[in-house]
Amino acid sequence: MRCLVPQLSTVPFGQWVCPKCVELPREAPEGPAPARPAPAAVLFSNAATRRRDKEAADLHGKRVLWVGYVGRGREKERVEYWGELVFRGPLERPRYFWLEWDGGAAESISLVEAKKMLATTEALRSQKRG
């Protein structure tokens, strides 16, 4: 309210209009300014996004394997961690999944990460068969 002398630091409570604004040939707005709505999730996505959503939904319940190593040098020990993909829904994109590990921990992962883990899992399964 810099146009007033002395200046006001805040707008007074109730229905109040700046005296200089009253002199203008327009009506003062009633009440506070409307709040801008929060951006909504994209419900009606394009065809490519719908394909990714479907691809992600089709992976629900798949088992994945992550192989890691514990220790250093020659004492490294290979450990395997199994988990299950839980599809959270298309509005959770890009992190479509909860990956629930068998030990009880869980983490959020994307479709790309899930596909990499599935590819690794399939490669390791085929090595064991062959």
Whether residue 98 is contained in a domain is answered as yes
Provide the residue range defining the domain that includes 119. Answer: 50-129
- Give the separation between CA 66 and CA 68, rounded to whole angstroms: 7
Whether residue 4 is contained in a domain is answered as no
| Radius of gyration over every alpha carbon of the chain, rounded to an integer in angstroms | 29
**Sequence-ordered list of residues with C-beta below 8 angstroms from that of 5, at least 6 positions apart, any chain:** none
Q: pLDDT digits over 8-26, tens only?
A: 777 777 777 777 776 766 6
Whether residue 54 is contained in a domain is answered as yes
A 10 A CB-CB count for 57 gives: 12
Whether residue 84 is contained in a domain is answered as yes
Whether residue 14 is contained in a domain is answered as no
Q: pLDDT digits over 60-109, tens only?
A: 999 999 888 999 888 899 999 999 999 999 989 899 999 999 989 999 99
Confidence of residue 128 (pLDDT cuts 50, 70, 90): confident
Q: What is the biggest distance separating any 2 CA atoms in the chain, rounded to whole angstroms? A: 88
